[in-house]
Amino acid sequence: MPGYGKTGYGTILPWGGIGSNPKIVLPTRLLTAYKLRIHFSKQMEYNSDLINLSNYTVTPNTTNGVPINLLSIEAENLSNPTYVEINCSEYTNGEIYNISVEKLNGPKDLNGFYMDPNQSPFQISGIGIIPTVETLVATSKNTFELTFSENMFENSFIKDISNYSFDKSLLITNMIFTSNVITLITTDQEPGELYTLTITTE
């Protein structure tokens, strides 16, 4: 059981000794674009709190990272597991994500200690399935329809027309973003001319 220590003002505070509270530690990482493994510094008590999704949060560090939905969870197949695996929605490739575990009344170790209240969110780099361009089709003399292999996350980067450019002095004047399709509005195209589109990815 946790011990107790006193502050200089005589207030009683929970205290378990140095290093007594479990932490999120390496090798916490994404196993795939859809599965996160969280490792703990100590053996954990296997109970409903350990496998309760509401005790875990994963948030993008910037607005460029797509929000993550936590779908299901399972613990290491041991009586006293040291990690859990969470099935998630897809992460944004290369973006930083913050991982937190409930520190009060959440998962606890075999001695009854909850997660370290002083630990900052643990950070990992997202793994995503990198989308590809499936088609680029001229739909009029002033529009191209660009189709990606999957739905894209709407942010300022993907909607910035300076990240798209054609050769042969064809200018992009505007764009319309809808899910996995971008309509590029251009100056007048030359009939029968073949244009090459360059997309800036970082």
Question: In which order are the strands placed within the sheet that holds 83-88?
Answer: 24-32, 35-40, 83-88, 70-75
CATH of residue 117's domain is 2.60.40.1220
Q: What is the pLDDT of residue 2?
A: 42
102 plus 178 within the same structural domain: no
How many distinct structural domains can be found in the chain?
A: 2
Same domain, 9 and 103: yes
Cβ-Cβ contacts under 8 Å for 135 (sequence gap 6 or more): 145, 146, 147
Q: Residue 63: what pLDDT?
A: 87
> In this structure, are 82 and 29 located in the same domain?
yes
Last residue of a domain, one of 125, 145, 178: 125
Strand partners, 5: 13
What pLDDT was estimated at residue 183? 97
pLDDT at 182: 96
- Domain co-membership, 50 together with 78: yes
Among residues 125, 148, 181, the one where a domain terminates is 125
Does 42 lie in the same domain as 112? yes
**Does one domain contain both 96 and 158?**
no
- Asked if residue 48 and residue 77 are part of one domain, the reply reads yes
Quick one: 154 and 86 in the same domain?
no
pLDDT of residue 145: 97
**60 in the same domain as 157:** no
| Residue 53 DSSP SS3 | helix
pLDDT of residue 202: 66
Question: Is residue 117 located within the same domain as residue 20?
Answer: yes
Same domain, 59 and 116: yes
pLDDT value of position 128:
87
| Domain match, 53 and 106 both | yes
CA dist 44 and 175 (Å) reads 51
Please give the average pLDDT of every successive group of 10 residues along the chain, which has 202 residues: 38 47 96 96 96 97 92 94 97 94 95 95 92 93 94 86 96 94 96 94 70
SS3 call for 190: coil
CA distance 41 to 69: 25
Instruction: Print the domain residue range for 191.
Output: 133-199
Structural domain ending residue among the three candidates 125, 147, 171: 125
